[in-house]
């Protein structure tokens, strides 16, 4: 993938849901070796004693879920494959190797009246980075989050969302549950509550907002269709498809 790699030590592991963990990664050196923009992702693989593991050279890209202003990196990982399975076996004090962050699904300024975020499942990871940055920098008068999960026990960052709502008067959040999950790219349920009427009732000044979508393809296509019908210009809608 790249010859430029960086080593980080696992500083803390936070269980988020039965199949999701967040990993705080402290740089090997005292200073962060690179900067990133909210929404970007980077290649990650486990390492041994701060050195690359020659038996497991496979990289996997994970979104950065922390704020660019943090002194550590943070990634949030759904257990669903070889590398993510190995990441979930790591302990605090273990080491990982990373690439430099990349990606064009990033928070852009200005944000107008404020950004509106749509997240499905693990797609909330880069959205969290954007929300934290907006709050830290005071971007927008309002921040709206629509987050969808299969069930309440699979909500990611649930307690943090409550904290955002309590501390930030301009933050609004709507959680929806769609039933059994597990598919990599499931179709959007025909009865998903994010229909046009639902969005129009909850999004203030929709034509003066910027939209960020990170969810399964079927659900994103439904939301994009509703936004178009509401008159939102296509250039104000940014989507990360997976």
- If you write DSSP's letter for every residue of 143-155 in order, what string do you get? EEEEEEESSGGG-
* pLDDT for res 185: 46
Residue 178 in tokens: 């769609």
Query: Sorting pLDDT into bands at 50, 70 and 90, what band is 81?
Result: confident
Whole-number mean pLDDT of the chain? 90
Per-residue pLDDT averaged across 127-143, rounded? Answer: 96
Beta strands in the chain (DSSP E): 6-17, 20-27, 41-48, 51-52, 60-63, 73-78, 95-98, 114-120, 143-149, 171-177, 209-215, 237-241
Range list for CATH 2.40.30.10 in the chain = 6-98
φ, ψ for residue 110 (rounded to 5)?
Answer: -80, 165
The CA distance from 55 to 57, in Å, is 6
Per-residue pLDDT averaged across 131-152, rounded? Answer: 95
Positive/negative CA dihedral, 105, 42, 124, 82? positive
The CA distance from 146 to 123, in Å, is 11
Burial zone of 100 (CB within 10 Å; 0-12 exposed, 13-18 middle, 19+ buried): middle
Range list for CATH 3.40.50.80 in the chain = 114-241
DSSP 131: H
Residues above pLDDT 70, as percent of the chain: 89
* pLDDT for res 34: 96
Per-residue pLDDT averaged across 131-155, rounded? Answer: 95
Residue 183 predicted with pLDDT over 50: no
The CA distance from 88 to 225, in Å, is 37
Query: Sorting pLDDT into bands at 50, 70 and 90, what band is 58?
Result: confident
Query: Sorting pLDDT into bands at 50, 70 and 90, what band is 137?
Result: very high
Identify the CATH homologous superfamily for domain 6-98. Answer: Translation factors (2.40.30.10)
Of 138 and 30, more confident: 138
Domain formed by 114-241, architecture: 3-Layer(aba) Sandwich (3.40)
Query: Sorting pLDDT into bands at 50, 70 and 90, what band is 52?
Result: low
- Specify the pTM: 0.91
């Amino acid at each position: 993938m790249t010859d430029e790699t960086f080593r980080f030590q696992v500083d803390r592991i936070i269980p988020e849901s039965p199949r999701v963990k967040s990993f705080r990664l402290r740089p090997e050196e005292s200073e962060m070796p690179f900067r990133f923009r909210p929404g970007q992702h980077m290649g990650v693989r486990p390492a041994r004693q701060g050195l690359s593991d020659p038996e497991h050279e496979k990289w996997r890209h994970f979104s950065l879920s922390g704020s660019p202003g943090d002194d550590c990196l943070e990634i949030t990982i759904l257990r669903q494959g070889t590398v993510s399975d190995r990441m979930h076996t790591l302990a605090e004090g273990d080491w990982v190797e990373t690439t430099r962050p990349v990606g064009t699904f990033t928070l852009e300024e200005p944000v107008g009246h404020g950004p509106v975020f749509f997240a499905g499942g693990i797609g909330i990871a880069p959205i969290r980075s954007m929300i934290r940055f907006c709050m830290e920098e005071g971007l927008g008068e309002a921040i709206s989050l629509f987050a969808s999960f299969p069930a309440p026990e699979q909500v990611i960052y649930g307690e943090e969302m409550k904290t955002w709502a309590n501390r930030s008067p301009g933050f609004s959040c709507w959680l929806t549950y769609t039933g059994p999950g597990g598919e990599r790219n499931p179709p959007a349920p025909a009865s998903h509550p994010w229909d046009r009427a639902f969005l129009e009732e909850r999004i203030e000044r929709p034509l003066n907002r910027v939209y960020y979508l990170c969810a399964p393809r079927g659900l994103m296509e439904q939301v994009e269709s509703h936004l178009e019908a509401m008159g939102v210009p296509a250039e104000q809608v940014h989507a990360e498809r997976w």
